Chains A and B, each alone.
Chain A
Amino acid sequence: MNTNSNVYTVIYTTIVVVLVAAILAFVSQKLGPMQAANQKAETISQILTAAQFEDFGNSNAEKIEFYKNNISEVVLVNTEGQQVGNLDCADAQIYSTSELKAQNYNVKDESKDFTIPMYKFNNGITVVPIYGAGLWGPIWGYIAVESDLSTVAGAYFDHESETPGLGGKIKDDPSFRAQFAGKKIDFSDAAPLSIIKGGVPAGKENAVDAITGATMTSKGLSAAIVSWLSALKPAFEAAAPAPVEVAACEEEVELNETEE
């Protein structure tokens, strides 16, 4: 057979490509649930890290168990700040990154209605997700606020393909993340919480320093935080606790600290 004829070449390449595609589709389908379980455990560990928990275990089962023991409720809020539903805590239901991505279109489009989860933990901390675009691909993360819903307790960010050592620092550099702790979300500002290049002015409590050499990633992350927090403004205001509740929660926090 003449393996150099055009007809043979076209038929041969077609068969090879279809065969390879079929193998990949089959494997992807078979391994999908296992990969999803790993991703879910990873997302849970990111939420827990943002919420200032430590030592929540290494295995997937340990992480999920820890999450179940510490979560009090997960509220789904809409554009008006109303509670439209709950996620099942006993089942450790969370919003995956792809679900955040889907909601990101609704957050950016004011004519659309979104549903964003707010994870409320037993220690009084509430964690909200953010999602946006970095330099090379999507970036997302979790911002944890204290029970007064304005003091930031911590944050965790992740990315798909930012440059390692530069934009990748939003995930890998703990000192970048640590800057967020103690900041105040200020909804009277157009940017309730932002990342500023060239140093945060003294007295400004709702901004952190950008990463050197990663201007675009910092800008993207800042934009993501601003757009998601702004979208959640009605929900934050609706859920802001009455003064009495604040006092009660603060006592709890203090108790936790003395236990340590």
Chain B
Amino acid sequence: MKETFLTPLMKGNPITVLILGICSSLAVTVELKGALVMALSVTIVTGLSSLVCSLIRNTIPNRVRIIIQLVVVSLMVILVDQFLKAFEATYPIDKALSVYIGLIITNCIVMGRIEAYALGNKPIPSLIDGLASGMGYGAILIIVAFVRELLGSGTLFGLRVIPEAFYNAGYVNNGLVILPPFALILLGCIIWVHRSIDKDLQEK
């Protein structure tokens, strides 16, 4: 059980090891707030989708199983989107994330974990696997967003952290950090660090 939870976080991390969900991790990591909401949304979607698909895994007709999975995932994504729109605190973030919440449907992590795990395992382990996969994705998202918001805008969660004195002394925000290519460079560095720590991940 513990392993089910830890594998997607470390050895089987969706972003750094499976290299899934790269597109959205470039798009939503300019600000920490957006990244956090995205991380939570993906975690909820992967968890609940895996749970539901695992519950009905023995009844799904094999020929249409991808379609059924897609319907379940879409349901969860639309529910998350509807709830984000309904609460005053999350409404502006949902607006800022625009299409990317809806695009969780196309995030390979969700379908990947259902196909690879939920369809062959009991509901509770599937739920844990789904949640952990979402968290593994979210953790990387938050690390990237932390660096990008700090260096790119000088803020964290929209609050100024780099003091005014730095700017007066000639410090400027790095414009490259805001652009998507930097997220890719940063991801590359995270993967590098991850692999150098975990020797099992290195190819011979």
Contact = CB atoms under 8 A, between A and B. Distances in A.
Interface stretch (A6-14, A108-116, A246-254): A6-14
Nearest to A41: B88
A173 to B, nearest CB: 14
A35 B85 contact: yes
B86 A31 contact: yes
Interface in B62-84: 62-64, 67-68, 71-72, 74-75, 78-79, 82-83
A242 interface: no
Interface in A9-46: 9, 12-13, 16-17, 20, 23-24, 27-28, 31, 34-35, 37-38, 41-42
Nearest to A31: B86
A34 B79 CA distance: 14
Given A3-B61, A27-B79, A161-B99, A35 B86 contact: yes
B85 A13 contact: no
Contacts of B61: 3-4, 8-9, 12-13
B174 interface: no
A57 to B, nearest CB: 12
Contacts of A12: 59-61, 64, 68
A59 interface: yes
B98 interface: yes
A50 to B, nearest CB: 17
Given A3-B62, A4-B61, A31-B86, A164 B71 contact: no
A31 B91 CA distance: 12
A24 B83 CA distance: 11
B166 interface: no
Contacts of A3: 58-62
A60 interface: yes
B86 A23 contact: no
Given A4-B61, A9-B63, A59 B88 contact: yes
A191 to B, nearest CB: 30
Given A27-B82, A34-B86, A35-B85, A17 B71 contact: yes
B91 A42 contact: yes
Contacts of A34: 86-87
Contacts of B92: 42
Contacts of B68: 12-13, 16
Contacts of B99: 161
A192 to B, nearest CB: 30
A42 B93 CA distance: 12
B60 to A, nearest CB: 7
Given A34-B87, A59-B88, A23 B75 contact: yes
B66 to A, nearest CB: 12
A164 B34 CA distance: 15
A9 B62 CA distance: 9
B72 to A, nearest CB: 8
A35 B95 CA distance: 12
A38 B91 contact: yes
A4 B75 contact: no
B63 A4 contact: yes
B63 A164 contact: no
A60 B92 CA distance: 11
Nearest to A1: B59
A38 B64 contact: no
20 contacts: A3-B58, A3-B61, A3-B62, A4-B61, A4-B62, A8-B61, A9-B61, A12-B60, A16-B71, A17-B71, A27-B79, A27-B82, A31-B83, A34-B87, A35-B86, A37-B88, A38-B86, A38-B88, A38-B91, A42-B91
Given A8-B61, A13-B67, A13-B68, 9 more contacts: A4-B61, A9-B61, A17-B71, A20-B74, A24-B82, A31-B82, A31-B83, A34-B86, A35-B85
3 closest cross-chain pairs (CB), A and B = A34-B86, A31-B86, A9-B61
